[in-house]
Amino acid sequence: MQDMIECKSFFAAQLSPEEPYSAADAVAAMMGAARGSRWRQNEACDAVIARGAVACVVSGAVRKFALRPSGQRQIVDFAFAGDYLGFAPADPAFFVEAVSNDTRIISFTRERIDSLAARFPAVAMLMRHGADDTIRRLEHHLLVQSRITAREKVGAYLAAMSRRVSPNGANAILLPITRYDIADHLGIAVETVSRTMTMLCRRGSIALKTARDVEIRDPSMLSDDDF
């Protein structure tokens, strides 16, 4: 019951209906069509986007990755609370798994979400914004990977992650992912990530309370605005 209440509040906050009083109807329709699931850390959750389903992360995080012939993992995206999965057709080359314990995901069949989007303009807009955010996130990550030095890559990555997990501009962030995740997302060694973060600490760009608790002290040193 509590999960349903929280999910209703989640979608009510996301929907921005153009017509008064349509929010409750849209939320009720979405909850009626939704299927909820919970996942543990590192548990495979490919099923949420199987057979063309569209899914939304309500809490926690998931990673999408591929395995190279060598067995090396290449992460292509992370989805946090409010992010969507499944806009592109499912590809057996990619896998999806939960990053954190108690990751909650709501999924919809393609037919149901298309029907809801046709009935409620607010749902159509929500799906469009979700797709736009996914494309923008992947485009920006390509720019981050195009950086030449490890300091540039990791610095730009931390700046981008700060905006995602702390949109209000707070300097202190709690990274929802490990350094191994960062390394596999950037395509560099985890030792390189650790050395670079230590170097950024020594330069005064960041401070580390723990491996994931990061304080950004000099955002200009992490700037990714000059692509």
For range 167-175, the mean pLDDT? 75
In the chain, pLDDT over 90 holds for what percent of residues?
Answer: 19
Higher pLDDT pick, 12 / 184: 184
CA atoms within 13 A on the CB side of 194: 8
pLDDT of residue 226: 46
Quick one: 98 and 188 in the same domain? no
Quick one: 50 and 93 in the same domain? yes
Q: Which amino acid is at 155?
A: G
Examine the pLDDT at 18 and tell me if it is beyond 60.
Answer: no
Quick one: 47 and 98 in the same domain? yes
Quick one: 119 and 166 in the same domain? no
Considering its fold, how many domains does the chain have in total?
2
User: Confidence class of residue 62 from pLDDT cuts 50, 70 and 90?
Assistant: very high
Question: Are 134 and 84 contacting, i.e. CB atoms less than 8 angstroms apart?
Answer: yes
Is 227 part of a structural domain of the chain?
Answer: no
The torsion angles phi and psi of 186, rounded to 5 degrees, stand at -85, -15
* Residues 174-211: tens digit of each pLDDT: 888 999 999 999 999 999 999 999 999 998 888 888 88
Quick one: 218 and 195 in the same domain? yes
Q: Which domain holds residue 179?
A: 146-222
Quick one: 123 and 164 in the same domain? no
Q: Of the spans 11-25, 145-159, 209-223, which averages the highest pLDDT?
A: 145-159
**Residue spans of alpha helices (H) in the chain:** 2-14, 22-33, 110-119, 121-145, 150-165, 179-186, 190-202
pLDDT of residue 198: 93
Quick one: 121 and 59 in the same domain? yes
Question: Quick one: how far is CA 131 from the chain centroid?
Answer: 12
pLDDT of residue 148: 82
User: Of 138, 172, 206, which marks where a domain is finished?
Assistant: 138
Quick one: 130 and 155 in the same domain? no
Quick one: 208 and 113 in the same domain? no
